[in-house]
Amino acid sequence: MKMSYLKEFIRVYALIEEKKIVYFISIFITCIAYPSLNIIFSFAYKLSINAIEFNHFSLFINTCILFLVAAIIQCLVEPFANYINARAVNDIVCRIKNKVFRHALSLPVSYFEKNRNADTVLRLTLNIDSFEPILRAGIRDVMQTLFLGIGALISMLILSYQLTLAALAFSVLAYLANFAFAKEIRKCSDIQYKCNAGLSQALAVTYETGQTAKAFNREDFLLAKFNESNKNAVSAAFRLAIRGMFKDGLTSLVTNVSRLVILICGLVMVINKQLDIGSVVGIISLQFGLTNMFVSLGGFLTNMQNNLAGANRVFALLDSQTEKSKYSKAIPGNITRNDVITYENVCYSYDNRVPVFDRLSFNIEENRMIAIIGPNGSGKSTLIKLLLGYYEPEGNIAYYQQAMGDYDLSEIRGKISYVSQRAVLLNGSILENIKYGDRDATMEQVIRAAKKANIHDYVMSLKEGYDSFVGEEGIYLSGGQKQRINIARALLKDAPIILFDEATSSIDNEDELDILQTLKKIKGQYTIIIITHRLQSIQDADWIIVLENGKIAGQGAYGHLQKKDCETMLI
Ligand SMILES: Nc1ncnc2c1ncn2[C@@H]1O[C@H](COP(=O)(O)OP(=O)(O)OP(=O)(O)O)[C@@H](O)[C@H]1O
Ligand SMILES: [Mg+2]
């Protein structure tokens, strides 16, 4: 028995929470019902045979009563308990899924950067489905086997202790036959699990790199990788099946020999008038429950292995640290009254690597338009991500003259509209995508934002207008159209600070000029930060900051800035 699996098993059950009582009562009833039926039928066989053997009518009546009790259990109690159990399991699984999803939403940006998207999707879909079979069958199977085994043992002892002892001896033999294969089977099962995990990984790679694979004619490479994992999984399953075949064959041999031996011993006892035929039949029909307890219990966690491993991957996600609601408080010292954003001695490095910023300081006054330029990797996007509170820096960042730690992160993000370097679209309609910026916005406001972002005319040219679907990640749209929808979304949010991180990089020059016209129109009404590599984007900025290696290499108004400061940064 693997202790780590036992730990996962207990942890799954700890998630039941408030449904505990209904769940365990229904499990208890189903666990009692199944062994009871077996035991009742065994006694019913004994009584019915004895009724004929001894010509005893009252025994026949007792047989009928036992059958009636069995019918009530089988037709009413068991189905009802199963129904209650299924409802409880569905409720619990639904709550677990909610909990995991809520947790996933509160994970920090760094989690999604460190873990592959496809891996997280697997945890939230395939792996989370592992909880259902564990909760449905886990404890139930163990308890049913145990109750049936113990119930059969007691009943058999009542009928004949000599035959019971013989049956016990054969059960131990069946256990040993199983034990001989258990280690090998567990090993194969481990390999099979790893191969299946390899298959999922190969699928994930296909999902992530499908388009690139086509562009580089690398489908063969993906296929070869997948085939290899697939072949390994099949051969592990094959090896498992062979061992299973030998194990089952040997167990069945022991079981059948034991039945025959007990039947012969029983009949000898009947001939010697030490036992009635009914008891012999009863014992033989109970014997399965006893042997099964010896054979099945050891392999129970191995059978659950795949599901427990899936649950383990979900637990790993649940154990990941969530984002803080706010960062530690720090009071910046050098703030002017008009500052909307202040960076004071800000230091940051990703995972203790080379610092991106080392004591970076600057300030941005209200309703100014600031352009940040600099070579690739100079820290422009990081500066914006720090502003959005994605990571916690050292030093101080302040908004409206108040330290970052004075706000909840959600408050900070509420003040900012962000258009990222890569346009991100939901698989929905254009309307849904724009309204993501403000779910309560009216159609009029949506159209106004779309017009400002210069996408309205295009939307109107589509047959379904704003209800047109954009496809997975906006696949039905061009790069420029996607980016314009992102801009419309950001404008609809109507936050006082707008961040553009190379938002116009995928738009052609003419379109970019259009968007710059829009920016000109809103200039003075919002505090705007544009990160760009293009000269025309910075010409209207009130102030330009040149970043180089995480430091300010120069700053000033356009025209006053040293030509050499600009030219290496722009295209
Ligand atoms: N998530 C991350 N994890 C680790 N390092 C990162 C991460 N994002 C950026 N970096 C590193 O931080 C530095 C600054 O990156 P950043 O993306 O801020 O540059 P940038 O100025 O926006 O560049 P570009 O003009 O290419 O967009 C780079 O050296 C980069 O390798
Ligand atoms: Mg960048």
**Across 4-13, 180-189, 310-319, 538-547, least confident range:** 180-189
Judgement on whether residues 309 and 376 belong to the same structural domain of the protein: no
Task: Give residue 298's pLDDT.
Answer: 67
CA-383 nearest atom, ligand 1: 18
Ligand 1 center to residue 6 CA distance, Å? 43
Distance separating alpha carbons of residues 128 and 121, to the nearest angstrom? 10
| Ligand of minimum distance to the alpha carbon of 375 | 1
Is residue 349 located within the same domain as residue 242?
no
Average pLDDT in the 421-425 region? 82
Q: Higher-confidence residue: 36 or 352?
A: 36
* C-alpha–C-alpha distance, residues 315 and 318, integer Å: 5
Mutate to test the pocket of ligand 1, among 348, 360, 381 (most ligand atoms within 8 A of CB): 381
Residues 351 and 308 in one domain: no
Return all residues near 409 (Cβ < 8 A) that are at least 6 apart.
323, 324, 325, 326, 327, 389
Domain of 276 in residue numbering reads as 2-318
276 and 378 share one domain: no
DSSP state string for 446-507: HHHHHHHTT-HHHHHHSTTGGG-B--GGGTTS-HHHHHHHHHHHHHHHT-SEEEEESTTTTS
The answer to whether position 360 is within a domain reads: yes
d(CA 545, CA 553): 8
Residue 113 has pLDDT above 80, yes or no: yes
Q: Please name the helix (run of DSSP H) or strand (run of DSSP E) that holds residue 208, with its range, or none.
A: helix 161-215
Return the higher-pLDDT residue of 559 and 55: 55
- Strand order through the sheet with 369-373: 416-419, 497-501, 527-531, 369-373, 543-548, 551-556
> Given this model, what pLDDT does residue 569 score?
54
* Residue 307: Cβ within 10 Å count: 23
**Distance from the alpha carbon of residue 17 to the mean position of ligand 1, in angstroms:** 43
Question: Quick one: pLDDT at residue 183?
Answer: 77
Angle at 12 between CA 7 and CA 15, to 5 degrees: 130
Residue from 360, 378, 549 whose mutation best tests the ligand 1 pocket (most atoms within 8 A of CB): 378
Phi, psi of 483 (to 5 degrees): -65, -35
Please state at what angle helix 161-215 crosses helix 219-271, rounded to 10 degrees: 170
Q: Of 251, 286, 318, which residue is a domain's last? A: 318
Tokens representing residue 408 in the block: 């909840």
Of 360-369, 428-437, 494-503, 528-537, the one with minimum mean pLDDT is: 528-537
Question: Which pLDDT band, with edges at 50, 70 and 90, does 473 fall under?
Answer: confident
CA distance 275 to 49: 13
Closest atom of ligand 1 to 382 CA is: 18
Residue 526 lies in a domain: yes
Residue 112's pLDDT band, with cuts at 50, 70 and 90, is confident
* DSSP state, residue 378: S
> Residue 386 pLDDT > 90, yes or no?
yes
Question: If you measure from the C-alpha of residue 522 to the centroid of ligand 2, how many angstroms do you get, rounded to a whole number?
Answer: 24
User: Minimal CA–CA distance to 555: which of 565, 564, 568?
Assistant: 565
Average pLDDT, the chain: 86
Q: For 202-260, how does the pLDDT look when each residue is reduced to its tens digit (9 = 90+)?
A: 777 776 677 777 777 777 877 887 888 788 888 888 888 898 898 888 888 888 898 89
At 554, is the secondary structure helix, strand, or coil?
strand
Looking at the 3D structure of the chain, how many domains does it have?
A: 2
264 and 354 co-located in one domain: no
What mean pLDDT do residues 188-201 have?
A: 75
Q: Are residues 424 and 345 in the same domain?
A: yes
Q: What's the confidence (pLDDT) of residue 571?
A: 46
The type of residue at 10 is: I
The domain spanning residue 143 has which CATH number?
1.20.1560.10
CA-nearest residue, atom 31 of ligand 1:
377
Identify whether residues 286 and 352 lie together within a single domain. Answer: no
Q: What is the rounded distance in angstroms from the CA atom of residue 519 to the CA atom of residue 531?
A: 13
**DSSP H helices in 297-425:** 300-303, 305-319, 380-387, 409-414
Predicted pLDDT at 121: 82
Q: Determine the distance separating the centroid of ligand 2 and the alpha carbon of 507, expressed in angstroms.
A: 16
Q: Residue 334 domain-assigned?
A: no
Q: Residue 566 has what pLDDT?
A: 59
Helices (H) and strands (E) in the chain, counts: 21, 10
486 CA → ligand 2 middle, Å: 17
pLDDT of residue 430: 94
DSSP H or E stretch at residue 415: none
Ligand 1 atom closest to Cα of residue 351: 4
In the chain, what percentage of residues exceed pLDDT 90? 36
For ligand 1, atom 8, name the residue with the nearest CA. Answer: 382
Whether 323 is in a domain gets the answer no
Q: How far is the CA of 224 from the centre of ligand 1 (A)?
A: 34
**Cα–Cα distance, 69 to 61 (Å, whole number):** 12
CATH number of the structural domain spanning residue 470: 3.40.50.300
Same domain? For 257 and 355 the reply is no
Q: Judge residue 222's burial from the number of C-beta atoms within 10 Å of its C-beta, 0-12 exposed, 13-18 middle, 19 or more buried.
A: middle
DSSP conformational letter for 19? G
Residue with the smallest CA separation from ligand 1 atom 25 is 376
Query: What confidence score (pLDDT) does residue 117 get?
Result: 75
**Cβ-based neighbour number of residue 380 at 10 Å:** 24
Contacts of 275 (CB under 8 A, 6+ apart): 160, 163, 266, 269
Asked whether residue 324 is domain-assigned, the answer is: no
Single out the residue in 288, 318, 348 at which a domain terminates.
318
Ligand number, closest to the Cα atom of 373? 1
Task: Tell me if 333 is assigned to some domain.
Answer: no
Residue 460, C-beta contacts closer than 8 angstroms, at least 6 positions apart:
none
Cβ atoms of residues 38 and 148 within 8 Å:
yes
The two beta strands, 551-556 and 402-403, are unpaired
What is the CA(553)–ligand 1 centre distance, in A?
17
Q: Give the environment of ion ligand 2: residues with CB less than 5 A.
A: 381
User: Residue 562: what pLDDT?
Assistant: 59
Residue 383 Cα, ligand 1 centroid: separation in angstroms?
10
Q: List helix spans (H) across 54-108.
A: 57-72, 78-105
When pLDDT is cut at 50, 70 and 90, the band that residue 509 belongs to is confident
Q: How far is the CA of 376 from the centre of ligand 2 (A)?
A: 7
Q: Which residue has the CA at smallest separation from atom 9 of ligand 1? A: 382
Q: Is 446 or 120 the better-scoring residue by pLDDT?
A: 446
Judge if 346 and 257 occupy the same domain: no
pLDDT of 155: 92
**Span 388-416, average pLDDT:** 91
- Tell me the pTM: 0.77
Same domain, 282 and 415: no
Residue 441 is assigned to a structural domain of this protein: yes
What digits encode the pLDDT tens for the residues 167-193?
Answer: 999 999 888 888 888 778 777 777 777
**Cβ count within 10 A of residue 397:** 23
Q: Note the helical H segments in 272-365.
A: 277-296, 300-303, 305-319
Q: Which ligand is nearest to the CA of 349?
A: 1
pLDDT (0 to 100) of residue 1 = 46
**Residue nearest atom 26 of ligand 1, based on CA coordinates:** 376
Atom of ligand 1 nearest to the CA of 385: 18
Test site for ligand 1: of 380, 383, 384, 532, most ligand atoms within 8 A of the Cβ: 380
Do 423 and 298 belong together in one domain?
no
Residue nearest to atom 29 of ligand 1 (CA): 377
CA–centroid distance, 187 to ligand 2, in Å, is 48
Residues with a CB atom less than 6 Å from ligand 1: 113, 350, 356, 374, 376-382
Domain end: 259, 284, 318, which one?
318
Do 304 and 352 lie in one domain? The reply is no
In a domain, 283, yes or no: yes
Looking up tokens 């006892």 gives 269
